[in-house]
Amino acid sequence: MDNQHEVIVRAAKPADLSALCALFIEFHDFNLCGVPDRLARSDSLGGFDCVRLEANLRHLINTHGCNILVAESGGVLLGLAEIYIRQTSEGTAVAQRIYGHLQSLIVTEAARGCGVGQRLLRAVEAWADARGASELQIDCWEFAAGPLGFYEREGYRTLTRTLVRALTSDQRAVGKPEFAESHVVCQPK
């Protein structure tokens, strides 16, 4: 990281698009290392479609209710945060709430551990707060080198969990019933 220049956190501009693409690719590759069976490898996609990615990012920085914030030092982007304002649907069993959703947060590897991620997170919280959000929500993959510890240090707690268990292929064998009927007598204690 450049020690000569201060770090500025600001909204992304169209001139940032190619640097933003590079950060998003680094973000994808970081997560791919952590959960290789959950994300597509870029070579299986024939490489990243940067034209399409740039078009999506341009839309994000020009659309009301979402944004990309960047951390910059000496003209170099060190990190980004992709943020949305969301609202729960009316007339459902879910309590009404306006909240911020942090979709992506990355600090480039060489700049980690210097407070840049924390500054981006605080800026995201301020951005969402100014738009009426009562809280910030984040979905993150859980793996050893992942960001859960960072978020917990920053005051976040787990609200829901996605539980998974691999299923065995012999359950799919042709001709086998989907499940074996079982009868259990329930005896009150």
Cα 84 to Cα 78: distance, rounded to the nearest angstrom: 21
Of the candidate residues 118, 134, 158, 171, the single one contacting ligand COA (CB under 6 A): 118
CB atoms under 10 Å from CB of 171, counted, come to 10
Of the candidate residues 68, 80, 106, 123, the single one contacting ligand COA (CB under 6 A): 106
Q: What minimum distance in Å lies between the beta carbon of 147 and ligand COA?
A: 4
Does residue 117 bind ligand COA (CB under 6 A)? yes
Cα 186 to Cα 70: distance, rounded to the nearest angstrom: 59
C-beta separation of 41 from 32 below 8 A: yes
Does residue 153 bind ligand COA (CB under 6 A)? yes
Of the candidate residues 105, 123, 124, 136, the single one contacting ligand COA (CB under 6 A): 105
List the interface residues with ligand COA, window 32-91 (CB under 6 A): none
Does residue 112 bind ligand COA (CB under 6 A)? yes
**Parallel/antiparallel/unpaired status of strands 98-107 and 135-138:** parallel
Q: What minimum distance in Å lies between the beta carbon of 109 and ligand COA?
A: 8
C-beta separation of 70 from 17 below 8 A: no
Cα 160 to Cα 3: distance, rounded to the nearest angstrom: 40
Does residue 115 bind ligand COA (CB under 6 A)? yes
Does residue 100 bind ligand COA (CB under 6 A)? no
Cα 151 to Cα 145: distance, rounded to the nearest angstrom: 13
C-beta separation of 70 from 64 below 8 A: no
Does residue 114 bind ligand COA (CB under 6 A)? yes
Of the candidate residues 32, 50, 66, 140, the single one contacting ligand COA (CB under 6 A): 140
Binding site for ligand COA (CB under 6 A): 27, 30, 105-107, 112-118, 138, 140, 146-147, 149-150, 153
